[in-house]
Amino acid sequence: MEGKAVNSQALYREACRFMPGGVNSPVRSFNVVGGCPIPFLRASGCRLWDLEGNPYLDLVMGWGSLILGHAHSRVASRLEKALARGWNFGALTEEEVRLAELLCQSVRGMDMVRLVNSGTEATMSAARLARAFTGKRRIIKFEGCYHGHSDGFLVGAGSGAGFLAAPSSEGVTDNQVADTLLLPYNDPGALKSAFEAHGDEIAAVIVEPVAGNMGVVPPSEEFLPQARELCDRHGALLVFDEVITAFRLHFGSAQDLLGIEADLVCLGKIIGGGLPVGAFGGRREIMEMLSPLGGVYQAGTMSGNLLAVTAGLSTLQTLREENPYQDLERKAERLEQGLREAAREAGLPVAVQRRGSMISLFFGVGEVKNLVQAKSSDLDMFATFFHEMLKRGVYLPPSPLEAWFLSTAHGEREVDEVVEASARSFEFCAEKSR
């Protein structure tokens, strides 16, 4: 590395001088679990190496964006080829068309798509489009679903009369969230009541079809069908935020697995293969309202960037050819069973929740179906467990509200390594709580 040779702690101290909290995204800061975040030097497959050369088995995997593992050889070689051609023409490239084509072929109901730079941009733009299409102003979102950090989606606990919500970040005004209705996840009754009260004002319902930002929380059987039915009845759009789930659970979107069709779908993470790409798309008549065809403005200097699109395209092409999803399912199930068994042996009550290769662990609770239940889990014990796992070389997301992700680079041996480390870590937690 160029510049001053530094160790991890010195680098973090420097980071804190120049960057708020020493990070560029809050959850990286270890705020929830305590301690010093680890800067990494390099990564390959399912492993990360810190500045001191220590290896870690990674279950963060670029927050779910790296389903093929770090530095996948095919993605890397395509990136190198693209790099040699120059990387920002500020104009159309063939790679953009191929990625858009592949997304439209594989995401149900997606006639057209717009590429953006992040999941945040995708959901923010989809909300604008839904409002324009329906001529209505309110958006329903669910507690514990994360749709990026645009003002209107930064809504935490519900407050006061009706279903109106208060902003969950300073700097967001009541006005900016006045049109956001906040409801509990997995509660079809609350959804019905909200539509009864505000039906003619609701532009869209936005939802993670399998929630991955309050830990992994699958939808109950009635929840999404109810949302679809109410949207149809009241002329609102159903927006699936599949930034995590698309191409994670199978080759395509969660719509196929759940048997529910959304009107707009938001994408991110995997479709950029670890580089910044987001997207939103849906029916032609809706998408044609976007500028330059229509009057809904949406733009981006970096949107469709050659390198980002190349990483996404080669990731998706590899997934389509190799179809690794059954294999991922098998390994993730092995991890799920292993964690359950290890916790049972240590005498610790835990909830292990999983869909496909996304998995999460809550201490001290039964099944978690919504944010209130997720937050009632034992956070201190998670923090202890996190640091015990870290000592044993396993890098978990530093919060119980974040999903763990397997990639095709994790073999059975690596899964067993995680289970082994968790058995020791559970024992430590049990010992400590005695």
Ligand X SMILES: *Cc1c(COP(=O)(O)O)cnc(C)c1O
Nearest distance, CB of residue 316 and ligand X, angstroms: 17
Both tokens of 74, joined, read 């095919």
The answer to whether 147 contacts ligand X (rule: CB under 6 A) is: yes
358-363 and 404-405: which strand pairing? antiparallel
Which of 72-80, 237-245, 407-415, 423-431 is the region at the interface with ligand X (rule: CB under 6 A)?
Answer: 237-245
Distance from C-alpha of 227 to C-alpha of 259, rounded to nearest angstrom: 13
Our CB check for ligand X shows the closer of 148 and 400 to be 148
Q: Which of 188, 212, 312, 356 binds ligand X (CB under 6 A)?
A: 212
C-alpha of 124 from chain center: 15
Task: Tell me, yes or no, if 146 is annotated catalytic.
Answer: yes
Q: Is 397 in the site for ligand X (CB under 6 A)?
A: no
Smallest distance, Å, CB 151 to ligand X? 14
Q: Does 148 bind ligand X (CB under 6 A)?
A: yes
From the list 176-184, 194-202, 208-216, 287-295, the region that binds ligand X by CB under 6 A is: 208-216
* Least spacing, CB of residue 225 vs ligand X, in Å: 20
Q: Which of 58, 179, 187, 241 is catalytic?
A: 241
Task: Classify residue 229 by burial, with Cβ atoms within 10 Å: 0-12, 13-18, 19+.
Answer: middle
- Judged by CB under 6 A, the stretch of 11-19, 206-214, 280-288, 394-402 that binds ligand X is 206-214
Residue type, 434: R
- Please list every residue from 105 through 124 that binds ligand X, using CB under 6 A: 118-120, 123
Rg (the chain; Cα; Å): 22
Of 37-45, 103-111, 193-201, 236-244, the window that binds ligand X (rule: CB under 6 A) is 236-244
What residues from 277 to 306 belong to the interface with ligand X (CB under 6 A)?
A: 278
Q: Site size for ligand X, by CB under 6 A? A: 15
Between CA 355 and CA 74 the distance in angstroms is 27
Query: Residue 268 Cβ, how far from ligand X at the closest point, in Å?
Result: 5
Q: Based on the shown chain and the rule CB under 6 A, indicate whether residue 268 belongs to the binding site for ligand X.
A: yes
| Distance in Å, CB of 30 to ligand X, minimum | 18
Q: Using a CB cutoff of 8 Å and minimum separation of 24, what contacts does 200-203 make?
A: 200/136, 200/234, 201/136, 201/137, 201/138, 202/136, 202/138, 202/139, 202/140, 202/234, 202/236, 203/127, 203/130, 203/131, 203/133, 203/134, 203/135, 203/136, 203/137, 203/138, 203/139, 203/236, 203/237
Binding residue (CB under 6 A) for ligand X from 244, 328, 332, 350: 244
Cα gap 86→9, rounded to integer Å: 36
Q: Does 224 bind ligand X (CB under 6 A)?
A: no
* Residues between 27 and 86 with contacts to ligand X, criterion CB under 6 A: none
Residue nearest to ligand X (CB): 119
The answer to whether residues 111 and 104 touch, using CB atoms and an 8 Å cutoff, is: yes
Consecutive H or E run containing 379: helix 379-391
Marked catalytic residue, from 12, 56, 146, 325: 146
Instruction: Kindly state whether residue 208 participates in binding ligand X, applying the rule CB under 6 A.
Output: yes
Among 66, 243, 319, 352, binds ligand X (CB under 6 A): 243
Judged by CB, which is closer to ligand X: 134, or 213? 213
Question: Of the two residues 272 and 338, which places its CB atom closer to ligand X in the complex?
Answer: 272
- How far is CA 10 from each of CA 24, 36, 131, 391, rounded to the nearest angstrom? 17, 11, 48, 20
Active site residue 241: yes
Q: Does 400 bind ligand X (CB under 6 A)?
A: no
CA distance 279 to 290: 13
User: Closest Cα partner for 65 from 206, 246, 233, 295?
Assistant: 246
- Name, in order, each residue with C-beta under 8 angstroms of 374's C-beta and a sequence gap of 6 or more: 144, 214, 215, 217, 362, 368, 400, 401
Q: Is 187 in the site for ligand X (CB under 6 A)?
A: no
Q: CB under 6 A: which stretch of 71-79, 142-150, 174-182, 186-194 binds ligand X?
A: 142-150
Closest distance between ligand X and the C-beta of residue 153, in Å? 9
Residue 241 is a binding residue for ligand X (CB under 6 A) = yes
213 near ligand X (CB under 6 A): yes
Closest approach of ligand X to the CB of residue 122, in Å: 7
Q: Is the peptide bond before 20 cis (omega within 30 degrees of 0)?
A: no
138 sits in the region (left: phi over 0; alpha: psi -120 to 50; else beta) called: beta
421: buried, middle or exposed (CB in 10 Å: 19+, 13-18, 0-12)?
buried
Judge whether 429 and 346 are in contact, CB under 8 Å. Answer: yes
Chain centre distance of CA 189:
26
User: CB of residue 276 vs ligand X: minimum separation in angstroms?
Assistant: 7
Question: Under a CB-based contact definition with an 8 Å cutoff, are residues 336 and 385 in contact?
Answer: no
Nearest residue (CB) to ligand X, 278 versus 356: 278
Q: Rounded to the nearest whole angstrom, what is the least distance from the CB of residue 216 to ligand X in the complex? A: 11
Q: Which amino acid is at 176?
A: Q
Q: Which residues bind ligand X (CB under 6 A)?
A: 118-120, 123, 146-148, 208, 212-213, 241, 243-244, 268, 278
Residues noted as catalytic: 146, 241, 269
